[in-house]
Amino acid sequence: MDGLIAVDKRSGLTSHDVVARIRRITGERTAGHTGTLDPWATGVLVVCMGKATRLSRFLMESPKSYEAEIVFGESTDTGDAHGYVVATSTDFSLQREQIFAALERFVGNIMQIPPMVSAIHHQGRRLYEIAREGVIVEREARPVTIYDLSPVEADRWPENIECRSVGRIAVTCSKGTYIRTLCEDICASLGVPGHMGELRRTMASGFDIGECVSLERIAAAAVEGDYRGVLHPMARAVRQMPSVTLSRDEVRSVIHGNRISVSSGRAIRGTATVASGAIALPATLPPADGDGCWVALMDTDGDTLVALATASSVVDADVLLQPRVVLAEEV
């Protein structure tokens, strides 16, 4: 089974739990997710199946979207509703317009200090392991990008924000952004403690929450022996990547790992054309080995992913494509 399954994870399951259940349901032993979602959080968790696991690094780089609650007036030791309250402030009252103005100041490139409950390594150990011992260590701030940050149903926010008032925000951000930290920092910028309440991931790895299915739906597909409603093709993982449709001879050559050339003027989807050996590189893609960029090589139908290649050499205005990740097999 090769492809992608977008799961609407329910609260109480770890990301590893979801992968393990899908392995049992489908019988496919090779599977892995494209970005951890905390056990108590819900929403989009994309699982790569079979050969698609070789594409996970491309999916991990894409922006993510969340809806989260901000709880004002109380901070916790974990930054979320599952920790112990460590600070409370009751002598404040803020207008919701003040909150909305503060949100605007966090859009763009910002620095974040990772929370102690994160999985980042410190001297060979995960931070959350150290946190369980009641120890707090110094962490370096890291750059992240907030692409969009806005209130959800702004007219339903309390007009006056007081201790334990709750408001929902929608966030679209880069990989590595901690939403609990964002909630804490927004509150801190207003001079009050705060933490994150509920969290739901609404978009990740190029999948929207509306495309996700439950574990029960996957189990039903297994019983029916028909995964067409839950399994997405591998090409979905690289649809943001420049791509070229191959001839039948080129497909055979690529499957054997042979380099092919793309002539000047030949159309490449996701760019204009190859011109003087130049191919535009989307900023969200991980860098290719060495110079150049990644290009998806598609079968003659234009829809089936054959391989990923790097385009890095130019000879007589032709771009040479070297297969790096071959996914198709010769029939």
Question: Would you name the residues annotated as active-site residues?
Answer: 38
Burial degree of 34 (CB within 10 A; 0-12, 13-18, 19+)? buried
Residue 208 and residue 143: Cα distance in Å, rounded?
Answer: 25
Residue tagged 């760019």 (tokens): 271
Q: Give the strand pairing for 243-245 and 194-204.
A: unpaired
Residue 116 and residue 126: Cα distance in Å, rounded?
Answer: 9
Amino acid at 277: G
Amino acid at 302: G
Distances from the Cα of 112 to the Cα of 173, 183, 317, angstroms: 12, 11, 44
3-state class (DSSP) for residue 261:
strand
Residue 264 and residue 258: Cα distance in Å, rounded?
Answer: 20
Residue 210 and residue 207: Cα distance in Å, rounded?
Answer: 8
Residue 34 and residue 284: Cα distance in Å, rounded?
Answer: 15
User: Could you tell me if 167 and 70 are in contact, meaning their C-beta atoms sit under 8 angstroms apart?
Assistant: yes
Q: Which of 324, 287, 286, 285 is nearest to 307 (CA)?
A: 324
